[in-house]
Amino acid sequence: MHATEQRSNSAPSARSTRTYTADSLQQLDSDALLAVYRGASTPRLTDASGDMSGKLVMICGVKPPLAAWLSDFVRETNTWAGKTFSLRDDRRGEGYNRMLNDARQRFHFDSFIGRSRAGDFDALHLDYDRPENPFFARHVADEMREVSPGLYLGQAYVRILGKLRLVCYFSLVK
């Protein structure tokens, strides 16, 4: 069985004790989000197909009072609507980001299952290092795990001075 065909629950599932929604994830602090992420399962590539609605959950890397204010501000002014996924084959996929009031496809990515940056488990990776993307988007690498059926929690990383740094959590709903 290919890694893309199986679900991995290598950490105790955070979903077994609580049901989350995209809105309830926004109420959690960074430690709780990391615990939920680590306890989630690795989606199959086929699970992540089609359109998914997206929400910013939390900005990372800034002090808690500023992080809450900045997260609220970005959520209010954000034009990101979500992501669209499609399969290339049983091991790789691709997709792009959708923006509100904009029919254009933005920030294309390649998708695959690989080792998470957040622990010793797999995640669905989104690699934006594609020639058609603007230079700043090519330094972004997302990964995501399934919190509950159809609800995904993602981590967005940006390469800064040669090192990938976690900059935010996001949610996607199928």
The per-residue DSSP string of 72-130 comes to: HHHHHH--EEEEEEEESSSS-EEEEEEETTEEEEEEEEEEEEEE-SSSSSEEEEEE---
pLDDT of the residue at 15: 42
pLDDT of the residue at 2: 38
pLDDT of the residue at 5: 36
**How many whole angstroms separate alpha carbon 98 and alpha carbon 82?**
5
Q: Is the pTM of this model over 0.75?
A: yes
* Topology, domain 17-173: Lipocalin (2.40.128)
Q: Which residues of the chain have pLDDT under 70?
A: 1-17, 63-67, 70, 73-75, 77
What is the C-alpha end-to-end distance of the chain, expressed in Å? 25
